[in-house]
Amino acid sequence: MFDKLDTLEEKYEELTRQLSEPELLADQQRYTRAAKQHRDLEEIVSKYRQFKSLDRGINDTKEMLEIEEDAEMVELVRAEMVELEQTRSRVEEELKVLLIPKDPNDEKNVILEIRAGTGGDEATLFASEIMRMYARYSERQGWRVQTLDVSESGIGGIKEAILLIEGDKVYSKLKHESGVHRVQRVPQTESSGRIHTSAITVAILPEAEEVDIRIDPKDLRIDTFCSSGPGGQSVNTTYSAVRLTHLPTNTVVSMQDEKSQIKNREKAMRVLRSRLLEMEQQKQHNAIASERRSMVGSGDRSEKIRTYNFKDNRVTDHRIGYTAHQLDQFMEGDIGELIDALVAHFQAEKLKTEAEAAA
């Protein structure tokens, strides 16, 4: 591990030197690439230097113990060494996590898709609350949320919503949210007070850029039609809505949120690219299914990942056994603790897999 860290530190120092060279500054493409590599290495190199500093401190402390004769001072030095060793152990574990190969999508924005499932009107109401929950959490993170498309139900819920969330490392935080979210509560429409169980599905797709997915124009069918629903005469009587069909995969994306056909087409293309990227990644995941199962179970979205029990004010994530009795705060976007717990869990699973592979 330390040989690898030494190599990374040397690479970081070399990049630091290169970034100040006039030749590199004159080549914007090379400079941008080098700057990104430098940025990517900064955290792990900083952590490694902290580890080496702690290591030196421990060695210095041991030398002091060998020559110190004052009993009170010896006790103080020993206490300091214990603290240094504990900190070094923690930093070493953090280094192991940082050395885990990164998901190339972690830095990406995400396409968030929410769909009402079983439960009728109650499922659509819950879907709208979950959409609000993620929007509130995104605000806390300083991310920008843009609604790409929403299909509303008659009672104020949503049948389907597609959002674009842009910001720093969005996918790295939200990627474990895909799956079936189950709600248990007394619906507003229930007069007898019986608790009903409904479900919605959440899909988190890394936003694909044109360099990730190239779509051949001949593989694309583009249809335009009049938008439906509220919006006034200009929306409902002009052919502003767009439907894209990717013929090789029969993937269809419709968009009618904007009055402009051009804007709807741009939004539809963003969603289409992300769905095609997910399909391509799923092929790769199937090829290494055993590794993926060891990390995230089967990865099948039909799995129930979380239950929201309103009667007991309880939320439970079934994958990691997490339970909290602050569901009211959770629904206001205070989901950071669970998000962090999921990230830590799957990092630990990945670290375990890496260790077993190296053994």
* 307 bridge partner residues: 182, 316
pLDDT of residue 355: 65
CA 208 vs CA 109, 131, 211, 252, 253: distances in Å:
9, 21, 8, 16, 15
Residue 150 neighbours by CB under 8 Å, 6+ apart: 158, 160, 161, 162, 257
Residue 14 exposure: Cα atoms within 13 Å on the Cβ side: 8
Q: Which two tokens stand for residue 339?
A: 């998000």
Q: What's the pTM? A: 0.65
DSSP 31-48: HHHHHHHHHHHHHHHHHH
Closest CA to 256 of 278, 275, 237: 237
Give the span between the Cα atoms of 112 and 345, in whole angstroms: 22
From the CA atom positions of the chain, what is the Rg in Å? 26
Residue 213 neighbours by CB under 8 Å, 6+ apart: 273, 276, 277, 280
Tens of pLDDT along 146-185? 988 888 887 889 999 989 999 988 999 999 999 999 999 9
**Look-up: residue for tokens 């992300």?**
274
Closest CA to 181 of 230, 249, 113: 113
Report the 10 Å Cβ neighbour count for 205.
25
pLDDT of residue 292: 34
- Residues of the chain short of pLDDT 50, as ranges, are 230-235, 288-302
pLDDT of residue 342: 93
pLDDT of residue 288: 42
pLDDT of residue 212: 62
Closest CA to 41 of 13, 60, 17, 64: 13
Give percent of the chain above pLDDT 70: 87
Strands 158-166 and 110-116: antiparallel
| DSSP alpha helix (H) spans, 68-106 | 71-99
